Structure 1
Amino acid sequence: MIEVVIERARRVTFFDILLLLAMWNRGGFAKNSDLVADLSKYYRNITRSTVSTAVKKLATYGLVAGKEGAYLMTPEGMEFIKLLAKILQSVKVDEEG
C-alpha cells in the first residue's frame, strides 16, 4: 500500500502537505473554513477557493475525499502522513547550521 501512496502523491506540494497536516490535527476531518483558518498561519491570502482547489487535486491522488466544503482524509492520506513523519524523523539536523 505504501508504494501505491507514494506513486499517487508524486506531485504533492508543501502547501498540500500543510493542508493534510491540518486535517490530521483535526482528526482526519475538516471543513473548508477550518482549513482556511489553519493555513492562514503560514500563508497570506488563503481563500476557500484555494483550499478547495488543493483538496480537488489531493482527491485525484486518493488522499482526501468529500465535497461541499467538508473533507475527510482517506486511509491512503493517513498512510501518506505517517510515511512523511517517518521520513522526517530520520533526517539528521545540524544544530549549528
Structure 2
Amino acid sequence: MKTQGESVNHKQVARLMRKLGLEAIYPKPNLSVPGDNDRRYPSLLRDMAITAAKEVWSIDITYIRLSQEFIYLVAVIAWFSRYVLSWQVSNSMDGGVEA
C-alpha cells in the first residue's frame, strides 16, 4: 500500500487482512504437537536390536517450498548407520521417474 501512496502501519494492514479473510503463509507454532484425537501406533521395532546395516531401512518424504511451487525430496535411510542410501528430488508426487 505504501507503493501506491497510502500511509499505513502494520496494525491497519493486519486489521484489513483479517477483514478480507487473508492469512500470511508461515510455519505456525507447535506443529509437532499431536492433537487429542490422533491415533498412536506402537513401534514394531521397539524391542529389536539392529545389528547389521541391511536389517532396517526407512523412507522419508518432505516438501520444500519455492516461490511459486513445491519440490519434494525423498530419502531412503539405513537405521543402523543413519546413512542416506538414496535420494531423489521431484516437482510432483507421482510414481514416475524423472530423467
Is the structural similarity TM-score above 0.5? no
What TM-score do the two structures reach when normalised by structure 2?
0.20
User: Could you say which structure has the greater relative contact order, defined with CA pairs below 8 angstroms and 6 or more residues apart?
Assistant: 1
| Bigger-Rg structure (1/2) | 2
What TM-score do the two structures reach when normalised by structure 1?
0.20
